[in-house]
Amino acid sequence: MADHNLDDILDRLDADLPQALDRLMEFLRIPSISTDPAHDGDVRDAASWLRDELTGLGFSAEIRDTTGHPMVVAKTAPGDTRPLLFYGHYDVQPVDPLELWTTPPFEPAIEDSDDGQVIRGRGASDDKGQLMTFIEACRAWKAVNGDLPPGLVLLFEGEEESGSPSLVPFLKANRDELAQSLALICDTGLSSDGRPAIATQLRGLVGEEVIIRAADRDLHSGSFGGLAANPLQILCNALAALKDENGRVTLDGFYDGVEDLSDALRRDWEALDFDAQEFLSRVGLKHPVGEKGRLPLEMVWNQPTAEINGITGGYTGDGFKTVLPAEARAKISFRLTGTQDPARIRDAFRAHIRAHLPEDCSVEFHEHGGSPASVMDTSDPAFESAKTALTEEWGREAVFIGMGGSIPIAGDFKRILGMDSMLIGFGRDDDRIHSPNEKYNVESFSKGARSWAHILASLR
């Protein structure tokens, strides 16, 4: 297989790193916060910046309007190589609480750290820095070979951080144009031990808000306590019953479709030497919890979860107020694996809550997203090719990993466009995405671009 002048491409990437960082800094200065209507113009500015950058490189690039924020679609000329779709998102999370930032979030800077130089600023790791690694690889490819890699479609979204409401309709409306043989997604990270990784399975997600109501007003606990229904107590009883003494979720049919870890993956994950206590120590904890008898990585990658994300009700202000609240609320999330059905999980949860509800109380539910888990077909030779390419660049054997989080786009690509995804990213566990002081290591940016050059050469 021809290497497409890979060594020259890598040398070009190294030589152009200062200019590439300048371009990234310019991109990061655009406050493209998709959840805040006050930044709608900034989100469009970021889309325009990408379109202009890609057009200048020789892509056929354009902004596609949606009912929400725009998509950016760019293409190279077709060729006799495998057609690929690359996906990233150009919107970013809000910056609150602003006072916890050590530098202004949209005034990016390169700083020295104990782990080498880092790029500090909102979007540095999630996902502007990551998507720019691919663009810089394409830039160097063209500088050396005279043309961009053929058979590429780039799709950049502006609503990922606000739930992607326009994405599925856009995929359906443009299925013939976007469907390729394989998707590449750069919105993940290195393994916890710093090795390059390809995520091959993602947990799904079901989000629910439940509201339980009893009396028509808050009640004096001295007059009504012990006699009137207390929505907070009812809600806590129901939520406590979601798990048994061994950490197993008790919902009817909850584990239908959950597959045990294969022997091959078990060996691979055990070889990662994941230290659960060290991992938890980063957030001030040290004792793992959860279902007994499972590997720690199995718990965060291959087993489903039920988690209480928030509870409110009654008086929570300063001082004390002895009331039985009229209503209580909770937000619950379930991470799904295997072929668990989000709709069935939602129905089972609602039935569970209703089973704990006294006759004169009412309940109201609100959906907050639902997507199944995604498992990629690693028998596709592209996965081994990419794994070898990453190993060559990083000098450490690349690994197939799972992910505890949910990236619904991978499932959408499979369900709507009929293609698997390779999730390859270069973020680190300490990048503080979604938090103040987000950063991206310069090494991740530099070697990320070099990695994509390796992968593009291996798949051409």
Domain finish residue from 342, 371, 400: 371
User: End of a domain among 371, 396, 418?
Assistant: 371
CATH number at residue 194: 3.40.630.10
**One domain, residues 95 and 133:** yes
Show contacts of 65-70: CB within 8 Å, 24+ apart.
66/159, 66/166, 66/169, 66/170, 67/165, 67/166, 67/169, 68/158, 68/159, 68/162, 68/165, 68/166, 69/34, 69/40, 69/43, 69/44, 69/157, 69/158, 69/159, 69/162, 69/166, 70/43, 70/44, 70/158
- Number of separate domains in the chain: 2
pLDDT for the residue 2: 62
Distance from C-alpha of 201 to C-alpha of 203, rounded to nearest angstrom: 7
Helix (H, G, I), strand (E, B) or coil at 71: strand
Is pTM beyond 0.95? Reply is: no
Closest CA to 178 of 108, 75, 261, 92: 75
Angle between helices 40-57 and 128-145 (to 10 degrees): 20
Expressed as residue numbers, the domain containing 99 is: 6-202+374-459
| 178/327 same-domain check | no
CATH, residue 314: 3.30.70.360
Structure token pair of residue 288? 């793992």
b/e burial code for range 72-101 (CB count within 10 A of at least 16 → b): bbbbbeeeeeebbbbbbbbbbbbbeeeeeb
236 and 183 belong to one structural domain: no
Residue 330 lies in a domain: yes
Instruction: Tell me, yes or no, whether 117 and 227 share the same domain.
Output: no
- Whether 278 is in a domain gets the answer no
Of 371, 394, 409, which residue is a domain's last?
A: 371
Q: Is residue 280 part of a domain?
A: no
Residues 37 and 110 in one domain: yes
Amino acid (1-letter code) at residue 376: M
Asked whether residue 24 falls in the same domain as residue 157, the answer is: yes
Cα separation of 427 and 188, whole Å?
A: 6
The reply to whether 264 falls in a domain is: no
Give the start-end residues of each E strand in 218-313.
219-220, 305-313
Predicted pLDDT of residue 144: 98
Is 295 within a domain? no
CA distance 92 to 62: 21
Question: Do 209 and 193 fall within a single domain?
Answer: no
DSSP 292-338: TT--HHHHHHTS-EEEEEEEEES--SSS---EE-SEEEEEEEEEE-T
Quick one: pLDDT at residue 263? 84
Are 231 and 246 contained in the same domain? yes
Asked whether residue 380 is assigned to any structural domain, the reply reads yes
386 and 424 together in one domain = yes
Beta strands in 77-188 (DSSP E): 84-89, 109-113, 116-120, 152-157, 182-185
Q: What is the mean pLDDT of each run of 10 residues along the chain (460 residues)?
A: 86 98 98 97 98 98 98 96 96 96 98 96 98 98 97 97 94 97 95 90 93 96 95 97 95 95 82 88 89 88 94 94 96 95 97 96 94 90 96 94 84 93 95 96 98 96
- Distance between CA atoms of 313 and 212, rounded to whole angstroms? 10
Same domain, residue pair 171 and 208: no
Same domain flag for 49 and 89 = yes
- Is 455 within a domain? yes
Query: Quick check: is 294 in a domain?
Result: no
Assigned token pair, 442: 């310069």
pLDDT at 228: 95
- Measured CA to CA, the distance from residue 234 to residue 229 in angstroms comes to 8
Looking at the structure, do residues 129 and 195 belong to the same domain, yes or no?
A: yes
